[in-house]
Amino acid sequence: MTLNKYKKIADELSVTEKQVKVTIELLDEGGTVPFIARYRKEATGSLDEVQIAAIRDRKQQLEELDKRREAILKSMKELEKLTPELEKQIMEAETMTILEDIYLPFKPKRKTKASVAREKGLQGLADFIMNQDSTDLDTEASKYINEESGVLNIDDALSGARDILAEFMAEQPELRSRMRELFIQTGTFHSKLIKGKETEGQKYKDYFDWSEPVKTAPSHRVLALRRAEKEIILTLDIEVPEDDAIRILEDLYIKGSNLCSEQVRQAAADAFKRLIKPSMETEIRLMTKKQADTEAIRVFAENARQLLLAAPVGQKRIMAIDPGFRTGCKLVCLDDQGQLIENTNIYPHNGAEASKEAAKTIKFLVEKYRIEAIAIGNGTAGRETETFVRSLQLTDIVVVMVNESGASIYSASDVAREEFPDKDITVRGAVSIGRRLMDPLAELVKIDPKSIGVGQYQHDVDQNQLQASLDDTVISCVNSIGVELNTASKQILAYISGLGPQLAQNIVEYRNKNGAFKRRSELRQIPRLGDKAFEQAAGFLRIRNAEHPLDSSAVHPERYGLVEQMAKDLNCKVEDLMKDEQLRQKIKLQNYVTETVGLPTLNDILKELAKPGLDPREQFEAFSFSDGINAITDLHVGMTLPGIITNITAFGAFVDIGVHQDGLVHLSQMADKFIKDPNEVVKVSQKVMVRVTEVDVNRKRIALSMKSENKPEPRPKQNYNPAPKQSTVNQVKKAREKEAAPETDIAIKLAALKNKFS
């Protein structure tokens, strides 16, 4: 990385060059984003994870740009086309688009109309025409007639020359830049239903005849339109005002008003329709797809973060039920460490006798294992099973509906088979439901984040970009919480900074062979876990009741000596500092500032001493749906119901209200004030109260509102005022006549009475 690139990144991200340089150096040394953000604040100027990841990603993009630049320079040299001017332009190109525009005229390509014309020897005629001198055009064109090459007459010669000119125009960087801006600023998406696809494409009904400006089309709509096009339901085109496009070409290339100029004008029109428009449309489709992907992935990652960091019920003895009707419910009991201790089947929905037996089984197992909470999957028969369990009136038992998205994927995975080799997939699924209640993060890391049910269009976006973003999200979540070294699964350990699957496996094997870890320093005995991995991982691994008191905290081992010095200066032990607030208040942080340790780190240490290893997640709160509302047919407009946010999109939030079909709270219905982003008011797994505003049973759509019921609906803002259609004008006229009619009738009657008595 050169200094100018440090400056470029710094300017783009609004940080200093020094921060960029230090961060890149730490990343190149093997530092991870969570470690750098948490334990290298003095070096980076307290950059957070988002900023550090942005520096990392932008550095990678610039490196890819440099690789492409080198490849183009090499190609141009081999083609013997590289001039000092072109080399300067290539070296100064700041984006991949500009770089490709410069290279396009020289890029080896398949046979084109222009290349065929050049083979016929018409390049000279094209140059003559482009000069647009007043010399006799027909006389010049006749010089190029050659039956052997296929130029039989003047028209053939002029046609070939125009082909050369059209390709020349279409490949010029300045023209492409101006056309690109035209498409971005004035381009419009147009979608139309393909004939005969009405029934098949009902879910895209809103887009059967749709137009929307390219620059304002939201990401979810772009992805929906592209998906419909891929499914051959709709056609999708991008249109721009053709006159404006032709005007750009003519402004650049028309120099006069003679016969040559007319040939250039024809070539320009051909260039736009045959070459530029398809090329620009492809570019804009790719650009809008990339933007839509980025936004969709951002929303997906944020939803995943909120779900992963959902409040855990904690280490409690759990009964978990994977509900079902005909095949019954799979029931498992877990100890307070999440270990399976018993499993069985119950049939609460298969008649009176089976229901009675199911009740007996639940009560027996609750008492036998001193169950503290019951988790019920929210799939088929979930609400009915919840109602049944609640009817048993179990004392001091929390009954919770749990989102089971992805549980079936986990139950059939290698991870599940390894954990429970002698159990079938239904038992594994029930265990996953119970563990999700106990600790959502620890359980959800075992499955692909794409399977946890919080994304939209996840199969339509760039899969590599999506995977990288979700991996970053999971790593961030796991390290922000930290894990208990002696109980963590290898799946969650693999996400700890500096570890990975192999070291996580080695840790578990060492733990199984040697028993529980007593000190963090024991990690150095793990095969292949070197100094760098220890440095990166140690602060995020906790050991409850460890020999060293700081091993249960987020204080990094490299700072143990500093804390011990603080205790020594106060004539006490480290344990005393962690227990006594008055002692901590006596610590004068300025006394411990050094070249490598500043106030940011010292303040973090002080917080950890006060609450070592504190779980930053919110406290768990029990939740239940409205009784008797189990299906969409039970709903009616005006109902107010409790719900849980399951998914957040750019246009609103989906809410589970217990009817096996999430309802949508549109952005405009989320608050009594204007908001731009649903995340301003809600987050995934949040409990909310919603009001039903619309129910469409056939399309399985539920519209909800979170606004105050007595608030008047705001009038929608109009971006433009199109001229009303004639039918609309007539309707307004009739309405006004109708409104005036009563007064007119009264006036007539009064006049009649006046005449009668006069």
**Domain holding 685: CATH number?**
2.40.50.140
Q: Please indicate, yes or no, if residue 452 is contained in any of the structural domains.
A: no
Q: Please indicate, yes or no, if residue 445 is contained in any of the structural domains.
A: no
Confirm whether pTM is higher than 0.85: no
Looking at the structure, do residues 153 and 286 belong to the same domain, yes or no? yes
Q: Which of 1, 39, 46 is nearest to 19 (CA)?
A: 46
Looking at the structure, do residues 593 and 643 belong to the same domain, yes or no? no
Looking at the structure, do residues 297 and 346 belong to the same domain, yes or no? no
Q: At what angle do helices 154-170 and 259-270 cross, to 10 degrees?
A: 60
Q: Can you give the pLDDT at residue 407?
A: 83
Q: Please indicate, yes or no, if residue 450 is contained in any of the structural domains.
A: no
Q: Can you give the pLDDT at residue 708?
A: 87
Looking at the structure, do residues 593 and 660 belong to the same domain, yes or no? no
Looking at the structure, do residues 300 and 345 belong to the same domain, yes or no? no
HEC letters along 473-505: HHHHHHHHHCEECCCCCHHHHCCCCCCCHHHHH
Looking at the structure, do residues 20 and 161 belong to the same domain, yes or no? no
Distance CA 476, CA 94 (A): 31
Q: Can you give the pLDDT at residue 711?
A: 54
Looking at the structure, do residues 422 and 373 belong to the same domain, yes or no? yes
Q: Please indicate, yes or no, if residue 259 is contained in any of the structural domains.
A: yes
Q: Can you give the pLDDT at residue 641?
A: 93
Q: Can you give the pLDDT at residue 758?
A: 36
Whichever domain contains 72, its CATH number is 1.10.10.650
Can you spell out the DSSP letters for 708-737? -TTSPPPPPPPS--PPPPHHHHHHHHHHHH
Q: Please indicate, yes or no, if residue 368 is contained in any of the structural domains.
A: yes
Positions in the chain whose pLDDT score sits under 50: 1, 713-758
Looking at the structure, do residues 488 and 561 belong to the same domain, yes or no? no
Partners of 663 in the β-ladder: 655
Domain count along the chain: 7
Looking at the structure, do residues 166 and 262 belong to the same domain, yes or no? yes
Whichever domain contains 595, its CATH number is 1.10.150.310
Full residue range of the structural domain in which residue 733 is found: 724-758
**Strand (E) or helix (H) holding 602:** helix 599-610
Q: Please indicate, yes or no, if residue 532 is contained in any of the structural domains.
A: yes
Looking at the structure, do residues 131 and 252 belong to the same domain, yes or no? yes
- Boundary of a domain, candidates 80, 106, 132: 106
Can you spell out the DSSP letters for 316-372? --EEEEE--STT-EEEEEE-TTS-EEEEEEE-TTS-HHHHHHHHHHHHHHHHHTT--
Do 503 and 444 form a contact (C-beta atoms < 8 A)? no
What is the Rg, in whole angstroms, of the alpha carbon atoms belonging to the chain?
A: 35
Q: Please indicate, yes or no, if residue 297 is contained in any of the structural domains.
A: yes
Whichever domain contains 157, its CATH number is 1.10.3500.10
Distance CA 85, CA 106 (A): 14
Q: Please indicate, yes or no, if residue 569 is contained in any of the structural domains.
A: yes
Looking at the structure, do residues 131 and 279 belong to the same domain, yes or no? yes
Looking at the structure, do residues 522 and 580 belong to the same domain, yes or no? no
Q: Can you give the pLDDT at residue 458?
A: 77
Tens digit of each residue's pLDDT (9 = 90 or more) over 258-277: 999 999 999 999 999 999 99
Q: Can you give the pLDDT at residue 3?
A: 52
Tens digit of each residue's pLDDT (9 = 90 or more) over 613-669: 888 888 888 888 888 888 899 999 999 999 999 888 888 999 999 888 899 999 999
